[in-house]
């Protein structure tokens, strides 16, 4: 017997689940009005049987039964001519008795399921309900999950099923609800862990030592979150990725943005691990990473260096023919060395860009010929200091 209800929400599901009593033990058969059995006996899911569907749904949702915009009576009259739609003992009396008072309130049958206010819009076509319902994941655990969720909040919202604190939809003139809010932060005994033992302290020390070493090492990358105080929870990959990225000038903190002398002692922020200068066992890496292991995009850089070296060599050989061969080679070597070092320094793409940007800007300034070089003021000073007694400065602090 497929007696899935036509309701498109879990209320219908809950209702039907109870009346069928498959999963939940407390079958409320006794509580159901008798005429409901008749409906159940017919296959209410039969999508051709639209009237029964609608009566059922109207009951479940708790509004006067309608069908296709017609009043109940109208479609009853209409349906007189199609008696096959009716269940065997389905009579007008039964329908007339289908009032709110007699109908068992949903909350009593199924206290945990959510109930919205009765909807007054037209019932949707039965076929759609049917499909939607079929897709609902395991109705079996619905009850359990929702109630456990309620409990875990210390009782807040626990009465969801009954609207306001277990009230039913029965009309009650003398109704006085208990609207006092539940305690927001109920008293809670905070468990205090046992003090750290000597062994644990040692373990933690080792752990922290190791972490520290790794963080000092070349493979660690510093966090580059734009807003470190943003909530940790993200809802999509895009949102997750957006939190990171190159900090633009808009993100600079004005309080720490101005360079200070002691900043030179601070740890350098590394956004990309430094792979040069330590050996790797290539055999254990996939081939596509070998270039990376060899240094900065090995081939590209090497080609670049070769090209420049050739150019220089040509230049040298063309202009300074008077140099003896060994000196020439030395100069050449030097050049190559320089180029290689430059390549190493350009490890960070962000830095590279920033440098370029700076460079352009200054050049522009130069071209414009401003005599007051505001931008140069601090730069120049800092450089002087750096070149000077950088080592002693720390003692003042």
Partner 1 sequence: MSRSKHAVELCALLVDETYGELTSRIFTILLRRGRLPITLLAQHTRLSPRQLRHGLVVLLQQNLLFYHTDIDSGLTHYEANHDAAYALIRSGKILNIVEERFGEQSRDVVQNLLLLGHTKVADLTAAYEAQKPTSNGHSNGHSATNGVSYTNGDHANGIHDSQVHSTGQLHAILHQLLEAGLIEPVNQIMFTSPTDLYNKVEKELLPAGGTKGIKQKEELRLAIEGRMQALRDQRPDWRAKGNNKRPHNGDGPNGTIKRRRLSNGAVNGNSQYLDESIRLDSELVLRINYEKCNVALRSQSLVSLANQRIGETTSYVYAEVLRLIEPYIPRCRIESEKDSNLFEKANVSTAELSAVMSSSVNVALGIGKASKDKIDTKMLEQASGRKRKANEAEVDSDGDASSDESESDEEMVGAGDDEEDPFAEGQKRKSGQAKVTFQDKPEDRQSRMLQLRNHLMLLAADDRNLLSKCGGGGQGQWTVDFNTLVKHLREIELDNLILENFGRQGHRLARILRKFGKLDEKQLPQHALMKQKDVRTKMVEMQMAGFVDIQEVPRDNNRATSRTIFLWFFDMDRVTAIVLDNIYKAMSRCLQRLEVEKRQANDIITAAERSDVRGKEEEVLSANQMNQLREIRGKEEKLLAQVARLDDLIGIFRDF
Q: Residues 4 to 33: which contact partner 1 by CB under 8 A?
A: 21-23, 25-27, 29
Cβ count near 143 (within 10 Å): 20
Among 292, 304, 328, 376, binds partner 1 (CB under 8 A): 292
Among 174, 227, 283, 299, binds partner 1 (CB under 8 A): 283
Strand partners, 70: 67
DSSP-based three-state secondary structure for 349: helix
Nearer to partner 1, 334 or 356 (CB): 356
293 is a site residue for partner 1 (CB under 8 A): yes
Angstrom distance (rounded) from CA 306 to CA 374: 40
108 is a site residue for partner 1 (CB under 8 A): no
Among 232, 235, 371, 374, binds partner 1 (CB under 8 A): 232
Binding mask 30-69 for partner 1 (x = CB under 8 A): ----------------------------------------
229 is a site residue for partner 1 (CB under 8 A): yes
Residues 196 to 215 in contact with partner 1, rule: CB under 8 A: 196-211, 213-215
Residues 150 to 179 in contact with partner 1, rule: CB under 8 A: 151-152
Q: Report the C-alpha dihedral over residues 221, 226, 230, 231, rounded to 10 degrees.
A: -50
Nearer to partner 1, 208 or 320 (CB): 208
CB of 219 to partner 1, least distance (A): 5
Is residue 264 within 8 A of residue 390, CB to CB? The reply is: yes
Given the DSSP bridges, would you call strands 70-71 and 66-67 parallel, antiparallel or unpaired? antiparallel
CB of 259 to partner 1, least distance (A): 15
Using alpha carbons, list the distances in angstroms from residue 292 to 42, 177, 271, 276, 285.
71, 70, 16, 9, 10
Span near partner 1 by CB under 8 A; candidates 63-71, 101-109, 126-134, 218-226:
218-226
Nearer to partner 1, 117 or 260 (CB): 260
Residues 124 to 153 in contact with partner 1, rule: CB under 8 A: 144, 147-148, 151-152
Among 81, 84, 188, 265, binds partner 1 (CB under 8 A): 265
Burial 301-311 (b: 16+ CB within 10 A, else e): beeebeeebee
341 secondary structure, DSSP code: H
354 is a site residue for partner 1 (CB under 8 A): no
Among 122, 219, 230, 354, binds partner 1 (CB under 8 A): 219
Nearer to partner 1, 177 or 273 (CB): 273
Angstrom distance (rounded) from CA 176 to CA 165: 11
Is residue 224 within 8 A of residue 277, CB to CB? The reply is: no
Among 38, 41, 271, 340, binds partner 1 (CB under 8 A): 271
Strand partners, 66: 71
CB of 65 to partner 1, least distance (A): 29
Nearer to partner 1, 82 or 287 (CB): 287
Cβ count near 247 (within 10 Å): 15
193 is a site residue for partner 1 (CB under 8 A): yes
Phi, psi of 150 (to 5 degrees): -65, -45
What are the CB-based long-range contacts (under 8 Å, 24+) for 387-395? 390/264, 393/261, 394/262, 394/265
Which residue, among 69, 75, 80, has the nearest Cα to 125 in the 3D structure? Answer: 69
Number of residues that bind partner 1 (CB under 8 A): 76
Among 237, 367, 371, 384, binds partner 1 (CB under 8 A): 237
CB of 270 to partner 1, least distance (A): 8
CB of 97 to partner 1, least distance (A): 25
Cβ count near 296 (within 10 Å): 18
């Amino acid at each position: 017997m497929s007696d899935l209800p036509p309701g498109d929400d879990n209320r219908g599901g809950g209702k039907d689940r109870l009346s069928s009593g498959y999963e939940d033990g407390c079958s409320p058969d006794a509580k159901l009005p008798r005429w409901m059995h008749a409906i159940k006996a017919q296959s209410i899911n039969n999508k051709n049987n639209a009237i029964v569907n609608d009566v059922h749904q109207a009951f479940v949702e708790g509004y006067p039964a309608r069908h296709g915009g017609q009043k109940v009576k109208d479609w009853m009259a209409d349906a007189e001519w199609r008696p096959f739609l009716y269940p065997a003992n389905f009579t007008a009396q039964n329908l007339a008795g289908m009032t709110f008072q007699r109908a068992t309130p949903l909350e009593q049958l199924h206290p945990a399921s959510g109930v919205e206010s009765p909807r007054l819009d037209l019932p949707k076509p039965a076929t759609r309900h049917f499909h939607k319902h079929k897709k609902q994941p395991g109705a079996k655990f619905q009850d359990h999950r929702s109630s456990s969720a309620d409990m875990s909040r210390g009782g807040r919202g626990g009465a969801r099923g009954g609207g306001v604190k277990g009230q039913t939809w029965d009309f009650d003139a003398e109704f006085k609800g208990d609207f006092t809010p539940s305690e927001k932060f109920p008293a809670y005994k905070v468990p205090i862990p046992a003090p750290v033992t000597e062994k644990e302290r040692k373990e933690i020390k080792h752990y922290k030592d190791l972490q520290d070493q790794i963080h000092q090492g070349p493979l660690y990358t510093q966090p580059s979150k734009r807003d470190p105080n943003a909530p940790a929870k993200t809802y999509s990959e895009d949102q997750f990725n957006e939190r990171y990225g190159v900090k633009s000038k808009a993100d600079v903190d004005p309080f720490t943005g101005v360079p200070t002398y002691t900043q030179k002692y601070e740890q350098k922020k590394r956004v990309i691990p430094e792979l040069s200068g330590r050996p790797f066992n290539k055999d254990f890496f996939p081939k596509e990473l070998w270039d990376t292991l060899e240094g900065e995009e090995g081939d590209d850089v090497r080609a670049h260096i070769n090209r420049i070296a050739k150019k220089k060599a040509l230049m040298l050989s063309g202009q300074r023919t008077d140099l003896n061969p060994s000196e020439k080679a030395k100069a050449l070597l030097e050049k190559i060395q320089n180029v290689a070092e430059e390549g190493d320094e350009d490890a960070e793409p962000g830095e590279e860009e920033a440098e370029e940007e700076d460079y352009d800007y200054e050049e522009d300034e130069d071209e414009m010929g401003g005599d007051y070089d505001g931008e140069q003021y601090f730069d120049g000073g800092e450089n002087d200091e750096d070149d000077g007694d950088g080592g002693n400065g720390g003692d003042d602090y």
